[in-house]
Amino acid sequence: MEKKSAILACILVLNMCTSISLVQCEYYSQSLPYNQVKEQKTSLHFYMHDILGGSKPTAVPIARANSGQGGPAPFGTLFAIDDPLTEGPEITSTLIGNGRGMYVSASQDAIPTLVMYMDLGFTSGKFNGSSISVFSRNPITESPREMAIVGGRGLFRFAKGYITVHTHSFSGNGDAVLEYNAEIVHP
Ligand SMILES: *[C@@H]1O[C@H](CO)[C@@H](O)[C@H](O)[C@H]1NC(C)=O
């Protein structure tokens, strides 16, 4: 209702060619002071399973540079991921969500660095339906390493923070279990 009358008011103002500055007819609204809501910090601890091998991999290569470089993930290799997140390090432990998105092998150095573009979505407990957005480099041989949290959904709307990552285990065929400690500041 309010919207309708606002639109009507806009049309009126436009038709009359008046310059009533109180009514806005633009694609933007008036900027208002941002009253910061009290922020809180939530810590999360879970494991991410990045499985490249077997019949049901959770990370699959989707593009590769035509550089002739060898190895499982040479510079310019892009993977799509749907990695399970669990409470404990075992894949059979309680499933709490999934990490969906992509990572790209983005380093020309001898030591591989990935850049992660992913949404870690939670499917159980208090944060069911909420997610955190990660956009960060990930120097996979460093332990611990740090990734940036740049946003989120649901209860993590407006989130910011970081994740400390430890490689819990790594098998020959590239399967990895990663321990994630997330520190999240959010409303
Ligand atoms: C999570 O939320 C979805 C959607 O509301 C619901 O269907 C599901 O049962 C919830 N899962 C848990 C474990 O609470």
pLDDT per position as a tens digit, 100-142: 999 999 999 888 899 999 999 999 999 999 999 999 999 999 9
* DSSP 8-state symbol, 121: E
Fold of 31-186: AOC barrel-like (2.40.480)
Asked whether the beta carbons of 156 and 150 are under 8 A apart, the reply is: no
Give the residue whose CA is nearest to atom 12 of ligand 1. 124
Asked whether the beta carbons of 123 and 96 are under 8 A apart, the reply is: yes
* DSSP 8-state symbol, 76: T
Total-model pTM:
0.84
Q: Is residue 145 predicted with pLDDT exceeding 60?
A: yes
Asked whether the beta carbons of 169 and 89 are under 8 A apart, the reply is: yes
Torsion angle (degrees, nearest 10) of CA 66, 79, 154, 135: -50
Of the candidates 149, 144, 184, the one whose C-alpha atom is nearest the C-alpha of residue 168 is: 144
CA of 88 to the centre of ligand 1 (A): 20
Best residue among 126, 128, 153 to mutate for probing ligand 1's pocket (most ligand atoms within 8 Å of CB) is 128
Longest dimension (CA), the chain: 74
Best residue among 85, 86, 87, 123 to mutate for probing ligand 1's pocket (most ligand atoms within 8 Å of CB) is 123
